[in-house]
Amino acid sequence: MEIDYVKIGLKVGLEIHQQLNTQTKLFCSCPPALFKEEPEITFLRRLRPTQSELGQVDPAAFFEFQKGVKVLYEANRATSCLVEMDEEPPHPLNMEAVEVVLTAALMMNMQPIDEVHVMRKTVIDGSNTTGFQRTCIIASDGWIKVGEKTIPMQAASLEEDAARKTGKEDAGKIIRYRIDRLGIPLIEVATAPVIYSPMEAQEVALAIGRILRDTGKVMRGLGTIRQDLNVSLPNGALIEIKGVQELELISKVVEYEVQRQLALIQVKEELRNRGVKADELKEEFIDVSEVFRQTKCKVIRKALDKKQKTMAVKLAGFAGLLKRELMPDFRVGTELSDRAKFWSRVGGIFHTDEMPAYGVTAEEVEALRKAAGASEEDTVVFVADTAENVQDALKAVVERAQEALAGVPAETRTAKEDGTTRYMRPRPGAARMYPETDIPPSTITSALVEKIRLNLPEPAEKKLERLMKEYRLNEKLAKQIIDSEYGVLFESIVKESGVAATTVAVFLTETLKALKRDGVQVEKVTENQVMEIFRSVGSGEITKEAVADVFVWLSKNEAKNLQDAIGALGLKMFSKAELETLVDQVISAKRQSVDQLGKNAFGMLMGIVMKEVRGKADPELVGKLLRERLK
Classify 329 in phi/psi space as left (phi over 0), alpha (psi -120 to 50) or beta.
Answer: left
Question: Residue 31's closest CA among 68, 76, 71, 89?
Answer: 76
Number of residues written out for the chain: 631
Question: Residue 412's closest CA among 244, 230, 576?
Answer: 230
Amino acid (one-letter) located at 494? V
Q: How far is the CB of 204 from Zn ion (least distance, A)?
A: 34
Task: Name the residue nearer to Zn ion (CB basis): 81 or 201.
Answer: 81
Q: How far is the CB of 82 from Zn ion (least distance, A)?
A: 7
Task: Name the residue nearer to Zn ion (CB basis): 77 or 476.
Answer: 77
Q: How far is the CB of 86 from Zn ion (least distance, A)?
A: 11
Classify 265 in phi/psi space as left (phi over 0), alpha (psi -120 to 50) or beta.
Answer: alpha
Amino acid (one-letter) located at 500? A
Chain positions contacting Zn ion, by CB under 5 A: 28, 30, 81, 83-84
Task: Name the residue nearer to Zn ion (CB basis): 81 or 444.
Answer: 81
Q: What is the 3-state secondary structure (H, E, C) of 198-248?
A: HHHHHHHHHHHHHHHHHCCCECCCCCCEEEEEEEECCCCCEEEEEEECCHH
Q: How far is the CB of 31 from Zn ion (least distance, A)?
A: 9
Distance between CA 582 and CA 586 in Å, rounded?
Answer: 6
Task: Name the residue nearer to Zn ion (CB basis): 30 or 525.
Answer: 30
Task: Name the residue nearer to Zn ion (CB basis): 78 or 406.
Answer: 78
Q: How far is the CB of 620 from Zn ion (least distance, A)?
A: 55
Distance between CA 8 and CA 251 in Å, rounded?
Answer: 16
Tell me the CA end-to-end span of the chain in Å, nearest whole number: 71
SS3 content of the chain, % helix, strand, coil (to 5): 45, 20, 35
Q: How far is the CB of 97 from Zn ion (least distance, A)?
A: 14
Q: Is 389 helix (H, G, I), strand (E, B) or coil?
A: helix
Task: Name the residue nearer to Zn ion (CB basis): 84 or 491.
Answer: 84
Task: Name the residue nearer to Zn ion (CB basis): 83 or 136.
Answer: 83
Task: Name the residue nearer to Zn ion (CB basis): 17 or 181.
Answer: 181
DSSP sequence for 530-567 = HHHHHHHHHTTSS-GGGHHHHHHHHHH-TT--HHHHHH
Q: How far is the CB of 368 from Zn ion (least distance, A)?
A: 56
Helix count (H) and strand count (E) of the chain?
A: 22, 23
Q: How far is the CB of 29 from Zn ion (least distance, A)?
A: 7
